[in-house]
Structure 1
Amino acid sequence: MAAMISRVWSAFNPPLVTKKDDALKFGILGAASIAPLSLIIPAKSHPEVVVQAVAARDRLKAEAFAKSHGIPEVKDSYQDILDDPNIDCVFIPLPNGLHYEWAVRAVRAGKHVLLEKPSTSNATEAKILFSMPELFQPNAPVILEAFHNRFYPSWNLFKSMINPADVVHVVSSSMIPWWASSNNDIHFNYNISGGTMMAMGTYNYAALRLLFDADPVECTSCETKAYTDGVHNKCDYDFQAKFRFPNGGIGEASSTLQGGTILKPSFVTVTTREVLLPDDSLPDDQEKYRSQVLTLNGMIHGVFWHRIDIRNKFEVRSKETGKAVKSWEENTSRKAYTFKEAGGEFADLPGETFWMSYRYQLEAFVNKIRGRKTQHWVDGQDSTAQMRMIDMAYEKSGLGPRPSSSFS
């Protein structure tokens, strides 16, 4: 418990570092509540990142935000940030329905873009955004959909334990308690692409795609609880979806923004098919099989707490009859707050126990801009496939995909 308290305290109060002379200067579009967690706090411990400016629709709000977080400049508009040659990168934590427009504008302005997920309102917008010719020129801007949890050591370790060809079933779930949101939140405004699938649910959908290493063939069911009034109309606050994947495997995802009183950690559970294992210690007339159930608890915010549970089922059988000679289980667990703890291929990658997933993500974003190797990346093809999956579920639910922006 003491170690957890110390780790979490340090995550929110990281050591300050001296900034390099060529540090990348960020501008934030919108005084969003997620910005401190996603960028401002992680930037404190990164020597190559300076949060330089912020703009909001309400300048007074932007000024208060800047004062609270020690941001030197306040701009009159989002466009003023894009027009400033002193700004290298922009962070876009705006409502979902504005992601597409301001990501396009930022790329056209030559800025590197850290874009809150979901990247756009639907797959049509994603295809246009990530196919922009400016992204395929020499010295092109870098754009990253901010799937922060995918940069965390525990996720990378978990994924490395699984052979997608052996996966037959994946279940992923997340929740936000009822008291942490209300129907006045932007998550429940259809006109700006609200809905639980667009909020927490996109993490769960991504987990299915990545663990099957494939896009779903179809959404076989998607049951939702949704608002039916005014701007909240067609905004799901709870969903359960099921998908079929190319190998015949089934993926199930669920999330709610109106969950129970007690916050429960997100999780993903993978069940694998039975595989034949070589074992020279066995007699020639016997063979050994294994199946697994692996669960990553704390899938989204691993720095607070997480655990990988591995349940191995073994059976030794007679080759002649196929009957079991011996069967047993071996259960273990792992944690990885750093890549050193993850070990193996990850052992030499940088990180500290107090680094949040957002800090690992920022490390990769800067490395990509600098032309260095990254331990993980979310490219445009990945982000577009993610939006196709969300659209597929919304279509199956009857609520329909989120509306496209009028911006062109």
Structure 2
Amino acid sequence: MSDRIKRSAIISLTVLLVGHFLIETTGHHYLYKTISMTLLEGRLGPSIQEYRAMPSREISAWHPQPWPRSTRAEANRLTESETDYHAQNQSVSFLVIHHDSIIYESYWDGFNADSISNSFSMSKSIVGLLTGIAIDEGKIENVDKPVYWYMPQYREGLGEELTIKHLLTMSSGIDFDEHYINPFAFPAKANYGDNLELLLCDYSVTEKPGERFHYKSGNTQLLGHIISDVMRTSLSDMATKHVWSKIGAEKFALWSLDHEDGMEKAFCCINATARDFARIGKLYKDHGKWNGTVVVDSTYVAASIMPSGTQNLDGTVCNTYGYQWWLGHHAQSDFFFMRGIKGQYVLVSPQHDLVVVRLGRKRDVGSGEHPHPDDVYTYLEMGKRMIEE
């Protein structure tokens, strides 16, 4: 063995031993899982099929209602430049639904209509939906109910002012740290740790709630914890009974947990098909009704897709977020959408009676000239082109 190889081996072993020592002495044992599921897999972040290595709970599809397929579906095609764009950003699914019928559907890289993949933060919109249902069920009085009513540890200091609405609108003032590369920030601890309930206890309200929009995954996790408690069931079972079974979902979904039989990762990680994710968009497009049957109150849905009235960190008015839904305006029309970190989108344009779903492995953030990643507008325009031609 050459001296160079020996030195490299010694350095590598030293790094491993030092890393092991630091993990053990700091108690950050989740880092073993973080490293094994990211760096050792050649990635800096999570995978869209990470559910295969995670404990999960099923969201069952009891009453499937297949999407109607328009006669236009066979004629619609992506242009060459659109096809290239999907390839560059490693899309695995692209689905366009107009007037509640599929007018275009494509899959890549071995995926098909039955393939499930990670929602990432699109799950936040579903947790927002479950919050509305908990209110409808009388388990939460209204969005202005203080959080301390459900979690007494918030009955002190600024925590006394914290309400359900502040969690919904990402204006809680809780000191969750939202960094996606930092392995010591909340997202990594929450995704790769094994005790979400205990993790939530590490954070507190440090800013006045209700004033500033600051997107933090911990807000949704706390919201999910409250919903599960008041409904006396898991989020997955609640989603089965009150959502999947009501909206005609065709396939089961899997919601990743912090440990076996544990707590759902409310902030992320519902693994479902593109067709079933699209149903959440249709539900909100139709004001909380599924084919005429009320799933969630229309007043709550309307509030969910209206600006929250908070301020951005730079002091400007936040007009891009409601109750766990993103909001946009483009080409003289409003739209709202679910959004995940790898470019997972359910884009809804009520004016065009249009739902566009894109799932994949990369997001095109673009130049930053828009309030949202550039690919949001690109995928929406692809859908619009197909209904206008």
Q: Which range, TM-score by smaller chain?
A: under 0.3
Point out the structure with the larger strand share.
1
> TM-score, length-normalised on structure 1?
0.25
The alignment's TM-score, normalised by the length of structure 2, stands at: 0.26
More helix by share: 2
Structure number with the bigger relative contact order (C-alpha 8 A, sep ≥ 6) is: 2
Could you say which structure has the larger radius of gyration? 1
